[in-house]
Structure 1
Amino acid sequence: MKKLMTLFLIVPLLASSLIFPIHSDAAEMNFSVSANIPENQIDKTKSYFHLNLPPGKEQTVNVTLTNETDQELTVLTSVNTAVTNDNGIVDYSQENPKLDETLKYPISELTESAGEVVLPANSSKNYPIKISMPNEAFDGTILGGIYFKEKTAEKKASQSKEIQIENQYAYVIGMMLSQNDTKVKADLTLNEITPTQINYRNVVTANLQNTEATILKDLDVEAQIYKKDGTKVLHESFKQNMRMAPNSNFNFPISWDKQEFEPGKYRLDMIATSGELVWEWSEYFTIDDQTANDLNETALDIEKDYTWLYIIAGSILALLVLLLVFLLGRRSRKDADEE
């Protein structure tokens, strides 16, 4: 039995600091969560944890979990380091994500908590998370989320070949940690440019990296691809209002527009803006024969370019016509000589 798992994240976070998709349906959720905001919360109007703790400081915060059903249930929990997914959205749902090389203090390594909580029917329970700040002083923000999902029983495989959609719902409560109020200026780096595929469609991705310990907000990116020294835009992409987690990276995709990759040298011109901050790049990259052939072999929805076939067919036809004219002319001359 094939299953398509869709995950809806219910995130009680204020949009001014942390944006996340919201799906709220009480009928679908068997439990609820609520952050117990401590006295040293920076802004007590927020429903997520935003704490300023000195180096080496330890503190335990609590989340109240409530079972709203008549049956016992188990909630799986984890404190996840925030990363940026390839849609340009801050992602708190991954328990073991690939971390950026500039991230010095993953929040998952600064916290201790149980991996699951058993809730008796119609009851509430406090879920403690111990925070241990690094001994070394630093500027900026450490960002993550406390992730809650109901544990469900494993279902036996069915003989049915029908596709079934199984919805899973989760809560995430954000956690922002800092040691001081020093503002850190964001910086964006363009790393490798890679021909690849997304869902079996040819794309080129440009890896963008936020190298600083600050949330990069309202990020707009515009990208154009040219032949190495060309002036005609071959492919382009523009995306607005993205957001990046501190010390994270993601792959910005530029669609190849249902075309096959052609081996050769290309140029990527890219502009990224966030408020008054502007970054510009112009970088060369190469698509080699082997890469182009391999990706074109597996690409879907490719619109074939038959221009070269038309040229060859036209050339052959022209040669045949010329040959026919030559033979007819030769025959005419022969007939004339015989007369």
Structure 2
Amino acid sequence: MLKNKSLQLLMVCFLSLLFLFNPKVTFAEGSDYSVVPLLPNSQVKSTSSYYDFKVVNEEKIKLAFSIENLSEKEQTFSVGIYDAVTNKNGIIDYSNAKLKKNVKKEQRLSDLVTIPNQVTVARHAKKTIEFQIKPMKSDFDGYILGSLQIVPQKEATKAGITNLFTRTIAIRMWGTDAKETIKSNIKDNKKEFDAITETNTTLKYQLVNQSPKIEKEINVQTILEKQGDKKKIINKAERKIDFAPSSLVEQELALKEGLVDGHYKLSVNTKTAEGESFHFEYVFQMKNDKLSHHNYWLYGFSLLAALLIIFGIYLWKRKKKKRKCKHGEKQGE
């Protein structure tokens, strides 16, 4: 009994010495600071945890936030602005600069903000950082969505950097033409359809949210059929995605095996949470593990030929009408 008590006492002494000579082990990197958004006068009253405001005019909008350094050392923080985008997993991502291109150009928050890219705060001090948003225009419908992200800069060690706590604050900027009900509008981009075969075939397609609002829990159903005398369903799948406003998302349908040569049809049926449906089809041919052709050049050529024919008919009728008029004038003489 005495031996056990002596052992416990030694353990307590050892742990006490460990914390005494290395107090950092009790502190997780990044948890030693706080960030508070300082909301503007035009803030929507129902929200207080992030920036949610309406654009009054096209003048610069001044916003601010405070950083409090709770640690014993001076800290430097990286500051960035990101656009809200939907990643391949169907989740809205507020911190992926690589997907910026997926947002409609005039709706990119990151292009409208002027902000310092890093801030240094003394130990046990608080600093207020101001930044500006210059909207391209004020009379837009819906909202522009993105985020402000603050990350502490830590010196690299042999063990590497771990447990960095990032602070992300959403920014939602409403236009003056924002309606109470924004109509859903999902499109596709047929030129981006592709089929890639390595061991298995993966079908790639692109959906576009043309509406300036988040589409929550869109149901996406895909049905792949092999065309021929007897149509056969090869694959049927269903998933839900959250769609960022005014942006596109690249979707992939990974099949369990490669597609053999033949003609196929992929149907993509989407349905919003409000019950609005949007349907898209891709008819394609596989040959030697490759997409044989998209036929888009053929569609373009056919459209051009049709326009030329219509224009030719118009010119022919116009000439015919002029001849009749001249003939009538001669008879009148």
**Same fold by TM-score, threshold 0.5 exceeded?**
yes
In the alignment, what sits opposite 1:268?
266
SS in structure 2 of the partner of residue 104 of structure 1: helix
Could you say if the C-alpha distance between residues 97 and 155 of structure 1 is closer, same or farther in structure 2, counting changes exceeding 3 Å?
Answer: farther
Could you say if the C-alpha distance between residues 40 and 228 of structure 1 is closer, same or farther in structure 2, counting changes exceeding 3 Å?
Answer: same
Kindly indicate whether the alpha-carbon contact (under 8 Å) linking 1:195 and 1:204 is maintained by their aligned counterparts in 2.
yes
1:64-85 Cα distance to aligned partner (Å, 9 max, x none)? 1122211122111111111111
Q: Say whether residues 1:112 and 2:108 are aligned partners.
A: no
Q: 1: distance between equivalents of 2:270 and 2:28?
A: 42
Report the aligned-residue RMSD: 2.7
In the alignment, what sits opposite 1:248?
247
Q: Which runs of 5+ in 1 are unaligned?
A: 1-25, 159-163, 293-339
- After the TM superposition, which segments of 4 or more aligned residues of structure 1 sit over 6 Å from their partners? none
In the alignment, what sits opposite 2:309?
none
**Aligned partner of 2:193: which letter?**
I
1:213-244 Cα distance to aligned partner (Å, 9 max, x none)? 2211221111111113453221232112x211
Kindly indicate whether the alpha-carbon contact (under 8 Å) linking 1:41 and 1:50 is maintained by their aligned counterparts in 2.
yes
Kindly indicate whether the alpha-carbon contact (under 8 Å) linking 1:236 and 1:255 is maintained by their aligned counterparts in 2.
no
In the alignment, what sits opposite 1:12?
none
Kindly indicate whether the alpha-carbon contact (under 8 Å) linking 2:112 and 2:134 is maintained by their aligned counterparts in 1.
yes
Total equivalences in the alignment: 258
- TM-score under structure 1 length normalisation: 0.68
Q: 1: distance between equivalents of 2:145 and 2:200?
A: 33
Structure having the higher strand fraction is: 1
Structure having the higher helix fraction is: 2
SS in structure 1 of the partner of residue 110 of structure 2: helix
Q: Map of 1:109-258 to 2, 5 A cutoff?
A: 109-135=111-137, 137-155=139-157, 166-180=162-176, 181-182=178-179, 183-191=181-189, 192-196=192-196, 202-229=201-228, 231-240=231-240, 242-257=241-256
Could you say if the C-alpha distance between residues 265 and 168 of structure 1 is closer, same or farther in structure 2, counting changes exceeding 3 Å?
Answer: farther
1:121-179 Cα distance to aligned partner (Å, 9 max, x none)? 122211212111223621121111001112222456x9xxxxx8945432210001122
Q: 2: distance between equivalents of 1:207 and 1:197?
A: 18
Displacement of 1:202 in angstroms is: 4.3
**Identical positions, percent:** 21
Could you say if the C-alpha distance between residues 99 and 90 of structure 1 is closer, same or farther in structure 2, counting changes exceeding 3 Å?
Answer: same
Q: 1: distance between equivalents of 2:255 and 2:203?
A: 7
Kindly indicate whether the alpha-carbon contact (under 8 Å) linking 1:235 and 1:254 is maintained by their aligned counterparts in 2.
no
Alignment counterpart, residue 102 of structure 2, candidates 97, 100, 111: 100
In the alignment, what sits opposite 1:74?
76
Kindly indicate whether the alpha-carbon contact (under 8 Å) linking 2:106 and 2:136 is maintained by their aligned counterparts in 1.
no
Q: 2: distance between equivalents of 1:136 and 1:104?
A: 12
Could you say if the C-alpha distance between residues 197 and 92 of structure 1 is closer, same or farther in structure 2, counting changes exceeding 3 Å?
Answer: farther
Displacement of 1:201 in angstroms is: 6.5
- TM-score under structure 2 length normalisation: 0.70
Kindly indicate whether the alpha-carbon contact (under 8 Å) linking 2:65 and 2:128 is maintained by their aligned counterparts in 1.
yes
Q: 2: distance between equivalents of 1:155 and 1:231?
A: 60
